[in-house]
Amino acid sequence: MTDRLSGPDVAAAVLAEALPYIKRFHGKTIVVKYGGNAMTDEHLKQCFARDVVLLSLVGMSVVVVHGGGPQIEHLLARVGKTGEFIQGMRVTDAETMEVVEMVLGGQVNKDVVNLINQAGGRAVGLTGKDGGLIRAKKLLLDDREHPGQQIDVGQVGDITQIDPSVIAHLQNGAFIPVIAPVGVGPAGETYNINADVVAGKIAEVLKAEKLVLLTNTPGVLDDKGELLTGITPRQIDDMIADGTLSGGMLPKISSALDAARNGVKSVHIIDGRVEHALLLEILTDHGVGTMIKSR
Ligand SMILES: Nc1ncnc2c1ncn2[C@@H]1O[C@H](COP(=O)(O)OP(=O)(O)O)[C@@H](O)[C@H]1O
Ligand SMILES: CC(=O)N[C@@H](CCC(=O)OP(=O)(O)O)C(=O)O
């Protein structure tokens, strides 16, 4: 007997279900943030690359922004350093900046480019320095415990300008841009920027149809650990105030909300540990994870 969950009728139904989504997103820009925590398993990495290629081949203009937090941690440990985070931002001294640039602009960027190319795509890797893509100044965090005071986290960048022309050239040539979150300051200094922040800003500037943030949780979880399928700005404020949202989720959620408020039509935080999570989110009725609402 044919397995009802995997028989040809099911396969046909799934393919047919994708058609309205393919039509809706054809020619549109989809920004995908690939978190360092979602890129730990080789098989999942290959699934991700295949999803990106499939979406490109059906006519979507996919732009990948990647992170690499755990990969940076790994190299820092090898040089005898331990990472420190404040409000989800890595405290970045000069030596840490060298490691961050090596890992993000080198190892991780080329790994993602290679995976996509192996899957049949044409990816080109960039950091924010290439083509003056990401300009930044030094970020100063507001000290929540001492209102009015600021915290210096070293060479962490606050984005001042995105020049998307290099991305446009790549999109026109049917290349898939793969962007590492490193920015450049007015004097040519290098800045480490949280990858969620870069993805959100790039999505805004490109007027993306969708921003999808792939991470290592099912989405945004409430104080009981239950998945929230949708979240409003008010819920976000409450959850930050009571500590339900913390660590790496802080820059993620605020970038997601900024993007939703500034014209990106839909913004989702999804579980990158689920095989083909990207296809499920974009091409099926079964949206996965949390959708961030602008109001
Ligand atoms: N309310 C929450 N729901 C889900 N994750 C949360 C929440 N609050 C904090 N987090 C943390 O945020 C992490 C995701 O952010 P991060 O580690 O920066 O991932 P990535 O490398 O994918 O950007 C989760 O693994 C989880 O530990
Ligand atoms: C300033 C800052 O925190 N930069 C991040 C950049 C990488 C990143 O964001 O990686 P994930 O997406 O994997 O977390 C860092 O140094 O870890």
Rounded distance from Cα 26 to ligand 2 centre (Å)? 31
Q: Which CATH superfamily is domain 20-292 in?
A: Acetylglutamate kinase-like (3.40.1160.10)
What is the atom index within ligand 1 of the atom nearest the CA of 221?
3
Q: Output the tens digit of pLDDT for each of the chain's 295 residues.
A: 445 566 777 888 888 889 999 999 999 999 999 999 999 899 999 999 999 999 999 999 999 999 999 999 999 999 999 999 999 999 999 999 999 999 999 999 999 999 999 999 999 999 999 999 999 999 999 998 899 999 999 999 999 999 999 999 999 999 999 999 999 999 999 999 999 999 999 999 999 999 999 999 999 999 999 999 999 999 999 999 999 999 889 999 999 999 999 999 999 999 999 999 999 999 988 778 999 998 8
Is the minimum distance from the CB of 249 to ligand 1 under 6 angstroms? yes
Tell me how far the alpha carbon of residue 202 is from its chain's centroid: 10
For residue 90 and ligand 1, the question of a CB distance below 6 A is answered with no
* pLDDT tens by residue, 137-185: 999 999 988 999 999 999 999 999 999 999 999 999 999 999 999 999 9
The pTM for the full model equals 0.95
- Whether ligand 1 lies within 6 angstroms of the CB of 66 is answered as no
| Residue 192 annotated as part of some ligand binding site | yes
Shortest-distance Cα residue to atom 15 of ligand 2: 69
Measured in residues, the chain has a length of 295
In the numeric block, which tokens belong to residue 269? 């935080």
What ranges in the chain are assigned the alpha helix state H?
8-25, 42-57, 69-78, 94-101, 109-118, 165-172, 195-205, 233-241, 249-261, 277-283
* Ligand 1 neighbourhood includes 190 CB (under 6 angstroms): no
For atom 12 of ligand 2, the residue with the nearest CA is 67
The whole-number pLDDT of residue 7 equals 77
Q: Would the CA dihedral through 87, 90, 94, 100 be positive or negative?
A: negative
Q: pLDDT by residue (tens digit) across 190-202?
A: 999 999 999 999 9
* ipTM score assigned to the predicted complex: 0.97
Helix 69-78 to helix 94-101 angle, to the nearest 10 degrees?
120
Rg (CA), the chain: 19
